[in-house]
Amino acid sequence: MAKITPRAQDYSKWYLDIINHAKLADYAPVKGCMVIRPNGYAIWEKMQAALDKMFKETGHVNAYFPMFIPEHFMQKEAEHVEGFAPEVAVVTHGGGKKLDEPLVIRPTSETIIWSMYKNWIQSYRDLPMLINQWANVVRWEMRTRLFLRTTEFLWQEGHTAHATPEEAEEETMKMLNVYATFAEEHMAVPVIKGRKSESEKFAGAVTTYCIEAMMQDTKALQAGTSHNLGQNFSKAFEVTFQDRDGQLKHPHSTSWGVSTRLIGALIMAHSDDKGLILPPRLATVQVVIVPIGRSEEEWNSVCEVADGIRKELAALGVGVKLDDDQKQKPGWKFAEYELLGIPLRMEIGPRDVESKQVMVARRDTGEKASIAMAELSEQIPALLASIQQGIYDKAKAFRDAHIFNASTYDELKAIINADQGWVRAGWNGSAEVEAKIKEETKATIRCIPFEQPENLGTCVYSGEPAKYEVLFAKAY
Amino acid sequence: MAKITPRAQDYSKWYLDIINHAKLADYAPVKGCMVIRPNGYAIWEKMQAALDKMFKETGHVNAYFPMFIPEHFMQKEAEHVEGFAPEVAVVTHGGGKKLDEPLVIRPTSETIIWSMYKNWIQSYRDLPMLINQWANVVRWEMRTRLFLRTTEFLWQEGHTAHATPEEAEEETMKMLNVYATFAEEHMAVPVIKGRKSESEKFAGAVTTYCIEAMMQDTKALQAGTSHNLGQNFSKAFEVTFQDRDGQLKHPHSTSWGVSTRLIGALIMAHSDDKGLILPPRLATVQVVIVPIGRSEEEWNSVCEVADGIRKELAALGVGVKLDDDQKQKPGWKFAEYELLGIPLRMEIGPRDVESKQVMVARRDTGEKASIAMAELSEQIPALLASIQQGIYDKAKAFRDAHIFNASTYDELKAIINADQGWVRAGWNGSAEVEAKIKEETKATIRCIPFEQPENLGTCVYSGEPAKYEVLFAKAY
């Protein structure tokens, strides 16, 4: 049986053990790259389906832009090139020949997309342009960690163009809210919405908004970002449209993305020392049925009933698997499905068949209960909903218990240095103060939360009047 | 209004005009690359959904492997490197530094996947391994054409490992049949299943099977391939498993793929001089409702009824759009939706509201009919099914009318040179003969069809006894 290092012993090892034993991902032959194995990819497919639906419901359409970007495109937006140039992979040869101009593999697609928008946007009638892309991107990383930071990763990137700054800001916030809803309602991960400081914002953005989540080691993880890009890219790529008033104007734009790092967030937020814990809405198999029987006769009659239940649940839209493999014993299967994070296990033995009931065990709490077969179509969906909510509530209680107010820098340092959690504190808005705190504690400003107190108090570092209340934390 | 060059005037121009005016794709700034625009990508999403469902129903799971392949991997399988080395794009720099070993961007993923299978396959219990990947690939092409041949394209590639050669062969055929079913039942494109000659098979395969489709200019298009790779890759990557008998053996493998070139095939197979013709099963919008009314009062009452019909059809699962934009006139809309290939147009005016009926027009035949509103939920799905079948039947009749038997080389040349269609003829199996015919006529052996006649006759070129009956054609 898979041996998982307990969290208390070595959190990093625990994380990698889960990924390894649950076969979620593997290291690739190329340094920093990752193979997403079928069990991990199934989670991504569920995430994609839910997000894609939300994108379409908010009026977006999908497209695909090339991954090759002419090197000089990257240089058109000054901050963008400064941020991304050091991390790009470069194609210099194609078809056996040296290329006239090297091609950058997209680290993000603003430049290639705006080079196309130049052709597609002429009039206010062409706006808003609301396009999303599901794609792979490459950022050359020195220190990598499966799912959380890899050289190549999968993501979606929305790129929109609008006639007015107000519409662009509305779009930026709308998509941040889509991400927050997805994180909380599908991933069961509570998030705090806020704005990034100048030093932490996207290279090329006017404003970056984010959702921040707490992992079980109390570190923060940025789970999604939505950028208001102003007219930076429309100006850099000379995109104009004729507005209703006949004037030529540059469109206002946004971009927003989440990536396969969300799988890492999901693992770190919920799992335990037995393995993965999947929220039902992201589990392909939500219920696994394990039949139990000694004699061939017992086995056959149990499996027949179990298969009936499988069909009944499948017809309700429940993701259900009947594990009728006779080579493995029930105890082995129990441990295996706990490792894989299947939300609900159902056991059926000969006596259950007789008494027309089944035993179910929740993955999140370990609680067991018996349910009458006649009530399964009502009880199972209710139990899955209860698990989904229970996982969220637990993560939220954990997070809320690990955010501390600090009014002095000593307090902040004590909390951060002891890895107790996040610190909520006043900040005077100075980039110097932010840099000092980062240098001295390794904690960064995760965000300036949208919810601000009425009385801001003083800056935790300088003692000056605070401009914002912010969240400090070490982060992935 | 968009002006499309008629097929009869310039077939290539007609194809590009449709792509351009229907906004399916656009040229990218990098030579040979393509942007798939939202209207084109929506077709790909429909294709993906249908294929992915079929892959899962046949027991496959999805995963994601890195696009970077260490250069020396490509050299492990002799025929593979010979076939693909001339077309690869090479990354030589990453993160600002020259790499120790250049990285090839996957032209196909056999090598990277088999390097991972080496770790994942130990025992017969790990087999079969049935993995598919949806990904972008790069093949450096000199002559490109939107959708049909581009430097980067999107595809799926299945890679499976089996304990026995029989299972591998069964899998290869199973997936070829999945492709044929998809082409015929979803794309409404009839295909001929067969085997490739040695010179046309995949670099690294023992046998390549294919489905071949005829376009409206009578050229052939290879719409999907399924390869039996034997033990070529398991040996090259030293992958072994312990079989039931305790012996160490190399697994047998397959790979199979279809790509975004299918969108090109779809356009070329069905469309006409007015624009795209989409089979209903691949159309996101299957029915577009165009309300007609002069006064504001008329308009409002018509739209109210139209919206009720929209909801009724949507509830049935029909892809339906109500175009209640008042800025464009009905005539403009009719032409626009014909250009976009929407299978069914529904017109509703004030008199229709009164008489409780609507007018519908089929995109494929142009036929119009009036339908009582009370019968829409029955009639519309039936009409869509009839359009799907009608498009297929038309394509099949066209194809069958353009395949000719030739018993002499002069006959073959006359048909091919006049671009009359495909030639069915005997072949002695000689690679020399195949090469000669290709050189002299530009026609290649598209496949050795599974269906072979009882009496083979003689080789069309050499006059020797034929080994097979084959199909000769010029191809995309």
User: Which residue spans within B315-416 are E strands per DSSP?
Assistant: 320-322, 344-348, 357-362, 368-372, 403-405
From the list A34, A69, A70, the residue facing B66 with the nearest CB is A34
Structural domain includes residue B435? yes
Of B86, B79, B224, whose CA–CA distance to B158 is shortest? B224
From the list A42, A92, A95, the residue facing B87 with the nearest CB is A95
* Domain termination site, one of A270, A299, A319: A270
Sheet holding A344-348, edge to edge: A320-322, A287-291, A344-348, A357-362, A368-372
Whether residues A63 and A166 fall in one domain: yes
Read off the pLDDT band of A1 (50, 70, 90): low
Structural domain includes residue B393? no
From the list A30, A69, A91, the residue facing B90 with the nearest CB is A91
Whether residues A348 and A425 fall in one domain: no
Whether residues A248 and A294 fall in one domain: no
Whether residues B38 and B127 fall in one domain: yes
What are the Cα distances from residue A354, in Å, to A312, A322, A326, A372? 19, 19, 21, 11
Is the pLDDT assigned to residue A2 strictly greater than 80? no
CB contact under 8 A, A68 and B116: no
Whether residues A161 and A264 fall in one domain: yes
Q: Which residues of B touch A103 (CB under 8 A)?
A: 30, 89
Q: Which residues of B touch A67 (CB under 8 A)?
A: 136, 152
Whether residues B173 and B313 fall in one domain: no
End-to-end C-alpha distance for chain B, whole angstroms = 30
The secondary element (H helix, E strand) that includes residue A68 is strand A68-70
CB contact under 8 A, B61 and A67: no
Per-residue pLDDT of A115-167, as tens digits, reads 999 999 999 999 999 999 999 999 998 889 999 999 999 999 999 999 999 99
Strand partners, B154: B136
Residue B268's region, left for phi above 0, alpha for psi from -120 to 50, else beta, is alpha
Residue pair B282/B43 in contact (Cβ under 8 Å)? The answer is yes
3-state secondary structure of B230: strand
Say whether residue A41 is in contact with chain B using an 8 A CB cutoff.
yes
CA angle A249, A253, A256 (to 5 degrees): 175
Tokens representing B382? 């039936």
CATH for A439: 3.30.110.30
Strand partners, A368: A361
What distance lies between CA B34 and its chain's CA centroid? Answer: 17
**For A282-291, what is the mean pLDDT?**
98
Whether residues B227 and B114 fall in one domain: yes
Tokens representing A74? 């990257």
Chain A residue with minimum CA distance to B89 = A94
Q: What does the radius of gyration of chain B's CA atoms come to, in whole angstroms?
A: 25
Reply yes or no: is the peptide bond before residue A128 cis, omega within 30 of 0: yes
Q: Give the CA dihedral A346, A350, A356, A361, nearest 10 degrees.
A: -20
Q: Quote the CA–CA distance of A276 and A278 in Å, as a whole number.
A: 6
Residue B40's region, left for phi above 0, alpha for psi from -120 to 50, else beta, is alpha
Q: Which residues of A touch B115 (CB under 8 A)?
A: 29
> Is pTM beyond 0.95 here?
yes
Whether residues B233 and B371 fall in one domain: no
CATH for A39: 3.30.930.10
User: Which residue spans within B314-355 are E strands per DSSP?
Assistant: 320-322, 344-348
Domain range for B85 is 11-270
Structural domain includes residue A415? yes
Read off the pLDDT band of A241 (50, 70, 90): very high
CB contact under 8 A, A68 and B36: no
With a CB cutoff of 8 Å and minimum separation 6, the contacts of A67 are A105, A106, A135, A136, A137, B136, B152
Say whether residue B68 is in contact with chain A using an 8 A CB cutoff.
yes
| Res B307: pLDDT | 98
B interface test, pick of A31, A68, A156 with most B CB neighbours within 10 Å: A68
Structural domain includes residue A447? yes
Q: Quote the CA–CA distance of B456 and B467 in Å, as a whole number.
A: 7
Per-residue pLDDT for chain B (476 aa), expressed as one digit of tens each?
568 999 999 999 999 999 999 999 999 999 899 999 999 999 999 999 999 999 999 999 999 999 999 999 998 988 888 889 889 999 999 999 999 999 999 999 999 999 999 999 999 999 999 999 999 999 998 889 999 999 999 999 999 999 999 999 999 999 999 999 999 999 999 999 999 999 999 999 999 999 999 999 999 999 999 999 999 999 999 999 999 999 999 999 999 999 999 999 999 999 999 999 999 999 999 999 999 999 999 999 999 999 999 999 999 999 999 999 999 999 999 999 999 999 999 999 999 999 999 999 999 999 999 999 999 999 999 999 999 999 999 999 999 999 999 999 999 999 999 999 999 999 999 999 999 999 999 999 999 999 999 999 999 999 999 999 999 999 99
How many other CB atoms are there within 10 angstroms of residue A393's CB atom? Answer: 12
Whether residues B176 and B247 fall in one domain: yes
Structural domain includes residue A388? no
From the list B37, B115, B152, the residue facing A67 with the nearest CB is B152
Burial of B3 (0-12, 13-18, 19+ CB in 10 A): exposed
Per-residue pLDDT of A181-239, as tens digits, reads 999 999 999 999 999 999 999 999 999 999 999 999 999 999 999 999 999 999 999 99
Whether residues A93 and A212 fall in one domain: yes
Whether residues B221 and B83 fall in one domain: yes
Structural domain includes residue B6? no
Q: Quote the CA–CA distance of A303 and A301 in Å, as a whole number.
A: 5
B 108-147 → A contacts, CB under 8 A: 112, 115-116, 119-120, 131, 135-136, 140-142
Secondary structure (H, E, C), A272-324? ECCECCCCHHHCCCCEEEEECCCCHHHHHHHHHHHHHHHHHHHHCCCCEEECC
Structural domain includes residue A105? yes
Whether residues B344 and B425 fall in one domain: no
Percent of chain A with pLDDT over 70: 100
| Res B1: pLDDT | 58
Residue A222's region, left for phi above 0, alpha for psi from -120 to 50, else beta, is beta
Q: Which residues of A touch B61 (CB under 8 A)?
A: 38, 41-42
CB contact under 8 A, A30 and B65: no
Q: Which residues of B touch A140 (CB under 8 A)?
A: 94-96
Structural domain includes residue B254? yes
From the list B66, B73, B86, the residue facing A95 with the nearest CB is B86
**Number of domains, chain B:** 3
Chain A residue with minimum CA distance to B134 = A135
**Amino acid letter, A224:** G
Chain A residue with minimum CA distance to B73 = A29
Tokens representing B360? 């519908």
CATH for A297: 3.40.50.800
Of A156, A131, A128, whose CA–CA distance to A224 is shortest? A156
* Domain termination site, one of A270, A295, A310: A270
The secondary element (H helix, E strand) that includes residue B117 is helix B110-120
Residue pair B132/B158 in contact (Cβ under 8 Å)? The answer is yes
